[in-house]
Amino acid sequence: MPPRSRPAVPTHAEALAVALSTLALGAVDDAAKRLAVGYAQAIDADPAALVKIGHMYLATLAALGLTPAARRAVVAGEVADDGRRPGDQLGKYRQRRQARGEA
């Protein structure tokens, strides 16, 4: 039986380019996009860099909404427009106060 061929695995930069092309990001997100591209290129150039910068790359991907957890949070409505994290108790108090019309 002949060996099965596997599809080529894209580089981090290639995979990121495809993922970014699916998003409707504006100019305000350019810095985060450039940061993610830089991390992807650094990891592609030296796979050992993944240990050093992988957590920062993952955080940048999450900020852009490119991780499963980030997408779930957006779908569940857990990400506030003002950037507060899910479960932010102070943010919940502020929202209730604002809803009551208090300053």
- Phi-psi region at 6: left, alpha or beta (left = phi > 0; alpha = psi -120 to 50): beta
Q: Looking at the domain assignment, is residue 60 inside a domain?
A: yes
Give the model confidence (pLDDT) of 49-90 as tens digits. Answer: 999 999 999 999 998 988 888 877 766 665 555 454 555 566
Query: Is the residue at 4 inside a domain?
Result: no
Asked, for residue 6, whether it belongs to a domain, the answer is no
Specify the number of domains making up the chain.
1
Residue 39 falls inside a structural domain: yes
The range of the structural domain enclosing residue 59 comes to 12-100
pLDDT value at position 86?
52
Give a yes or no: residue 3 inside a domain.
no
DSSP calls for 7-73: PPPPPHHHHHHHHHHTS---GGGHHHHHHHHHHHHHHHH-TTHHHHHHHHHHHHHHHTT-SHHHHHH
- What's the pTM? 0.66
Q: What's residue 37's pLDDT?
A: 96
